[in-house]
Amino acid sequence: MTHKVLHIDSAITADNSVSKGLTRAIVEKLQSSHADTEVTYRDLAATHLGQIDGAWLAAVNTPADARTADQNDAADLADTLVAELKEADTVVIGLPVYNFSAPSQLKAWIDHVARAGVTFSYTENGPEGLIKNTRAIIAYTSGGTAFGSDYDFASGYLRHVLGFIGITDVQFVVADKGAIDAEASLKAANAHIAELAA
């Protein structure tokens, strides 16, 4: 059976990005573990998703068969991003820490896919995530923002929002000392990738 991987990068540093190198290694590990792997790739820094606004909200909340042409234009990308997420067995996300938090382009992706009635629902028992049986592997990289520290506002947020839409199997590969001891930090992250379960 085909193992579908959604590979998301969000770094602005092109091929020099540590997080991009780690997400590539994670995807390669998954490909080596699954003979039939299908990868969908999104470079959020190159895609320019744009920020959501009132027109976007009206478009995505209008049934597809009732949208105007402008609403279709506004909703098409968001619908595509949601479809990619729903089809994935594993989501691999690059999370470089910018100013103690997630990059704005990754936050924009979250805003596009976290949609009531589509990826989560409100019930009498509280919110329920609708993305089921999906695993997430996050490559967390920073110059010195220690993973899980009081000033790490990136990893906890991403874990929470993924759980909110139903993705509770979340693993982090961490290289958080890029400006302190880059070699040792990267070595530890790659060792973790080598040990990842299929």
pLDDT score of 47: 84
* Residue 54 annotated as binding site: no
- Place 93 in a pLDDT band, splitting at 50, 70 and 90: very high
Q: Where are the alpha helices (DSSP H) in 3-151?
A: 18-33, 44-47, 54-60, 69-87, 104-113
pLDDT the model gives residue 68: 95
Spatial CB neighbours of 111, under 8 Å, sequence gap ≥ 6: 51, 52
Q: pLDDT for 16-44, tens place per residue?
A: 899 999 999 999 999 998 889 999 999 99
- What CATH architecture applies to the domain 3-195? 3-Layer(aba) Sandwich (3.40)
- Predicted confidence (pLDDT) at residue 154 exceeds the cutoff of 80: yes
Cα 69 from Cα 128, distance rounded (Å): 32
Q: Which helix (H) or strand (E) holds 13?
A: none
143 has binding-site annotation? yes
Q: Where are the domains of the chain?
A: 3-195
Which pLDDT value is given to residue 35? 85
Question: Is 19 within any annotated ligand binding site?
Answer: yes
According to the annotation, is 33 in a ligand binding site? no
Q: How many CA atoms lie within 13 A of 165 on its CB side?
A: 24
Would the annotation count 17 as a binding residue? yes
The pTM for the full model equals 0.95
Task: Tell me if 185 is assigned to a ligand binding site.
Answer: no
Kindly state the average pLDDT of the residues 180-195: 95
